[in-house]
Structure 1
Amino acid sequence: MHLDRSIMTEFHNKVRPGKVLILLGARRVGKSELIKAYLKDKDESTFLLLSGEDQQTVEVLQERSVVNYARLIGDRKMLIIDEAQKVDEIGLKLKVMVDHFPDVAFIATGSSVFDLTNKLGEPLVGRSNTLMLYPLAQMEFAQKETFVETKSHLEERLILGSYPELTHYKTWIDKEEYLRELTNSYLLRDILEFEGIRRADKIMDILRMLAFQIGREVNVEELAKNAKGISRNTVENYLDLLSKVFIIYKVEGFSRNLRKEITKMNRWYFYDNGIRNAVINNYNKISLRADSGQLWENYIMAERLKFLACSKRHANRYFWRTYDQQEIDLIEEEAAVLRAYEFKWSEKGKTKAPGGWSKAYPDASFNLVNPKNYLDFITT
């Protein structure tokens, strides 16, 4: 099933002569396919597509000189470098190209922020635009699905996630195998290739612990203790790296300095439920699971993140909890407006905000998101 990616229009708009468009996203979320779709109707003589994972490409780009790059680009109007973080000093090299070839548009894709932003960031200040590509969003599936089909696929997406290639597999077992291969062979590759990282077992231990703590504050000291043999600083470094290869992301606590509000610890979520379940090797159906609430919360958080990004809306996202155990799953702060959301897998749940929240923030809205109404929250 082919689905048009929701960022394609913005992608088109941001490909400009004299600029570098940086496309970021985890491995296998469809960056290369998006590039192919973009180039489909273009004359092959007008662009050059290179891969940073190809040794010949790395060697061709090695000499940082105008003469070398003029020979490489020729009369073409566009240069695309896929997995650009694999090319040493790629930021400086692209700066030379942008400065000396103002009629050429440049595109660089990458699957690791810690490499790509470090290598591209400072040299390309004022010379670049950045877009993020996520696993498929429900608003993208909606191109080809009826309402009934969407509802029938909900359980599968809660468990197997939304990576694009899953649409090419027909059976549940085949999709499980794909997720195992993806998790073991691709997603951690950038971290393990990073200088000084040798403990794949500890990184997986941390991911497993996070997978069981969806919706709860994460104590870094406790992670270090349970991982055994690594320090708090190492755990914090691993969390940072895992977020920069787009496996997990953090949500901070919300506070306006009320004494009872908890803000010192973060909550961590997976960008995709399938990866979360692959990490703990559990692909059981919902009826056989004890973590349906966590699956629901992680799914809704990720889908809302994709929806806001696709809609080009900028909202700060937090959780809220007090020391007397009042809590709300998601607080969005957008243009000084506060919106509170509680996520419940059961369609029966509280319809009123906690008293402490209502008293402290009387102007904020509050909504319950459950399987009955969730599509409004993540698609409109």
Structure 2
Amino acid sequence: MNGKISRIIAEDVSRKFFKGKVIVVYGPRQSGKTTLIKELLREMAVSPVFLNGDDDLDVHYFDTVTASRWTQLMGEKKVVFIDEGQKIQNLGRAVKLLVDSRDDVQVVITGSSSFTLANSVEEPLTGRKFEYRLFPLSYAELAKHFGFLEESKKLELRLVYGSYPEVVTNEDGVKETLKMLADSYLYRDLMQYEGIRKPAVLEKLLRAVALQVGSEVSYNELAGLIGVSRTLVESYLKILEQAFIIFPLTSYSNNLRNEIKKGVKYYFWDNGIRNAVLNDFTPVPQRNDIGALWENYAISERMKRNAYNRADGLPYFWRTTDQMEVDYLEVCGSKIKAFEFKWNPKKKSRVTKAFTNRYPEAEVETITPENIAEWVG
């Protein structure tokens, strides 16, 4: 199937144009944010003022921006598109000047760090923005583009190479593309973040997290393994979260005896990046970490789905001090859904009785390749 892959948020973002608020799209680098906005502007036949946080001249403009300079810059144009906004200081204040003086102008901002971009626009634009997150391509987007049957056949590819747009559209060069993404983004781009001073530590930390996908992480153990302080480990993990490389899953506890109350696991937003960190693109039939790959894929796809659908359920895992565990929970008020992940559909699986005895009203389900489409679609 040819043509562009439609993004789930595209229609909603399009409807928000010229509603009197700034549009902000967060997400990993290379996830398609710039492409999405340019495509929407093209469909609307709009030519924007384009400013890029990677361009020093554009960034310098924000040092002395005033309402009159905005008027000079805008001319007759009605849209300002600011890409890589996380690299621009004073962004929120400058945009506020524009929207306060021109109610006929639409500002769109994209950025690859939720923390730095949010901090720069949060206070000046409180109540004046629509926010979206755009991840690597989701199962629902891929199934709509390729068709359910064809996408089902590509499942093993997704487990190994992930779903970044350039990976999906260039299957002949996936290893090179992923290595480029990992090298340029994980190690070079992240060095620009405030607080990253030891790239070798970051690399070791990412490898350690990649090897522990699906397992509870100990900050003290990571610190000892890498040879740095626990504080530095926690700081670097937070930066990796804010850059949409990994996300945490915390433990669920109803304060019952022997439930783990402060545990955390980390997953990658994209399987391909996880495997690139480990430089391991071994095909699925030969892998000894297929359980971790399957769990990472299923949970990350569910997280994308829930984010796009603005689902209310909060994600957790569950474990007791005597090692009884449930892979993934979604909790909404008093309603609990529990899930286990099995790559082999024939392998018998059930949620541990230790959990069902404590939470008898919980819904339980095992997610396999046979029912993943319904769960993440």
Q: Which TM-score band applies after superposition, normalised by the shorter structure?
A: over 0.9
Tell me which amino acid in the other structure corresponds to 2:34. Answer: S
Q: Contact 1:190–1:245 (CA<8 Å) still a contact in 2?
A: no
- Secondary structure at 1:261 match in 2: coil
Match of 1:178 in 2: 177
Match of 2:282 in 1: 284
Distance in 2 of aligned mates of 1:341 and 1:286: 22
Deviation at 1:183, TM superposition (A): 0.5
Matches within 5 A, 1:93-242: 93-171=94-172, 174-228=173-227, 230-242=228-240
For structure 1, the 5+ residue unaligned runs are none
Match of 1:344 in 2: 342
Question: Using a 3 Å threshold, how does the CA distance of structure 1 residues 373 and 247 change in structure 2: closer, same or farther?
Answer: same
- Secondary structure at 2:24 match in 1: strand
Distance in 2 of aligned mates of 1:64 and 1:70: 10
Distance in 2 of aligned mates of 1:260 and 1:196: 37
Runs of 4+ deviating beyond 4 Å: none
Match of 2:319 in 1: 321
For structure 2, the 5+ residue unaligned runs are none
Distance in 2 of aligned mates of 1:306 and 1:325: 29
Deviation at 1:237, TM superposition (A): 0.3
- Secondary structure at 2:154 match in 1: helix
Deviation at 1:111, TM superposition (A): 0.5
Deviation at 1:60, TM superposition (A): 2.8
With 22-31 and 319-328 compared, the bigger mean Cα shift is at 319-328
Q: Contact 1:26–1:187 (CA<8 Å) still a contact in 2?
A: no
- Secondary structure at 1:26 match in 2: coil
Q: Contact 2:187–2:203 (CA<8 Å) still a contact in 1?
A: no
Tell me which amino acid in the other structure corresponds to 2:194. Answer: E
* TM-score normalised per structure 1: 0.95
Deviation at 1:330, TM superposition (A): 0.7
Q: Contact 2:246–2:269 (CA<8 Å) still a contact in 1?
A: yes
Could you give the per-residue CA deviations for residues 284-316 of structure 1, whole angstroms, max 9, x where no partner exists?
A: 001211100000000000111111122232220
- Secondary structure at 1:143 match in 2: helix
Distance in 2 of aligned mates of 1:313 and 1:125: 23
Aligned-residue CA RMSD (Å): 1.5
Q: Contact 2:255–2:261 (CA<8 Å) still a contact in 1?
A: no
Distance in 2 of aligned mates of 1:214 and 1:170: 25
Q: Contact 1:341–1:369 (CA<8 Å) still a contact in 2?
A: yes
Aligned length, in residue pairs: 375
Tell me which amino acid in the other structure corresponds to 1:70. Answer: T
| Identical-residue share of aligned pairs (%) | 39
Deviation at 1:196, TM superposition (A): 4.1
* TM-score normalised per structure 2: 0.96
